[in-house]
Amino acid sequence: MQNIPVVKMGIISVSRGCFPIELSEMRRHNVAKAYGADLYECPICVETELDAKKAVEDVKAAGVDALVVFLGNFGPETPETMIADMFDGPLMYTCAAEGDGDLMNGRGDAYCGMLNASYNLGLRGKKVYIPEYPCGTAEEVAQQIREFVPVATALVGLKGLKIFAFGPRPNDFLACNAPIKALYDLGVAVEEHSELDLLVAYNKHKDDPRIPAKVEEMAAELGNENPYAGVLPRLAQYELTLEDWMKDNLGCSKYAAFANKCWPAFQTEFGFVPCYVNSRFTGRGIPISCEVDIYGALSEYIGLCVSNAPVTLLDINNSVPAQIYNEDIKGKCDYRLNETFMGFHCG
């Protein structure tokens, strides 16, 4: 399963009427050339509100998921920020540094325009990605776009994400009990069930004909010194249960993560701990957090989108004893005692 989006990036250049449009078009083309073929270059340079509408329609038709608005010169404040109203996806705003062309007749004042664009976006209440220094040569802007891609991937992914949660969040774990409205604000779907629902689904997979092949796969992965041989059929049954649940209940969402109950009743009722299966899912890019930690699952999924690598959670568990610090850390790493901690997770 492809559990994170493959984002198609696009770029729209803008131009203020009192500056030559050719300057902005040339600079946009230089950025596209420096970035490479994966960046869609919109042929419409925006000077007016109607240009903005046409340009957004063009990039949508091209399948663009995330967009760069590039000020090749000062830029038209209203049309360029209207793009943020019209494009429903991650947006980055940046501008051209001087130097591409004649410094007398080819001056663009884009840096000044970027300040005004930022203020106008604030007036419109729009949240966009603005690089730390939103100005650069073609190569520098291309690098800014590359750094924007992981951010855009996470934002697009969250709008297509469904988090399946099994079990009430554990008593006296307030850190796992944050209100989930903030997830809905991000566009994340949350589907909550009792762990009894999970147990019923698990029991329905008893004697599933796919279990032997799954056991064989797990055994090959664990190797000769396999401490879980006796429990592998149950682990395989559980893994198939989660796979089928995800397939059958994803609905309108595109991507999935889980936040599942894992203790204390899980061990007695299911007859095993789920950590190994959780790890296998996470290794395939489908995060499963423990303790019905919905925000933990969200964090893991964001980390997956940003890094394109498996992500898990590690507790800041306890402080490092001074004796261990003095023997193993001091003088070897540039950390003070109170800057260290011991990390732990049960899985």
pLDDT one-digit tens code per residue, 24-59? 999 999 999 999 999 999 999 999 999 999 999 999
Which has the closest alpha carbon to 255: 294, 295, 301?
A: 301
Q: Are residues 145 and 273 in the same domain?
A: no
E strand or H helix at 122: helix 110-123
User: Residue 318 domain-assigned?
Assistant: no
- Mark whether 126 and 185 lie in a shared domain: no
292 & 271 share domain: yes
Phi, psi angles (nearest 5°) of residue 227: -80, -5
309-333 pLDDT, tens digit per residue, is 999 888 888 999 999 999 999 999 9
Mean pLDDT confidence for 15-22: 92
Burial of 146 (0-12, 13-18, 19+ CB in 10 A): middle
Are 168 and 145 found together in one domain?
no
Model pTM score: 0.91
Same domain for 106 and 95, yes or no, is yes
User: pLDDT tens digits for 126-185?
Assistant: 999 999 999 999 999 999 999 999 999 999 999 999 999 998 887 777 777 888 999 999
Q: Are residues 137 and 182 in the same domain?
A: no
Which helix (H) or strand (E) segment holds residue 212: the answer is helix 211-222
Q: What are the C-alpha distances in Å from 2 to residues 5, 6, 279, 305? A: 7, 9, 17, 11
Question: For position 256, which CATH number holds?
Answer: 3.40.275
125 and 259 in a single domain? The answer is no
Which domain does 218 fall in, by range? 160-313
Number of domains the chain is built from = 2
Question: Do 19 and 153 share a domain, yes or no?
Answer: yes
* Within-domain flag for 211: yes
Give residue 248's pLDDT band: very low, low, confident or very high (50, 70, 90).
very high
Residues 173 and 150 in one domain: no
Q: Can you name the residues that pair with 73 across neighbouring β-strands? A: none
What 3-state class would DSSP assign to 178? coil
pLDDT in the model for residue 292:
92
Q: Are residues 168 and 305 in the same domain?
A: yes
248 in a domain, yes or no? yes
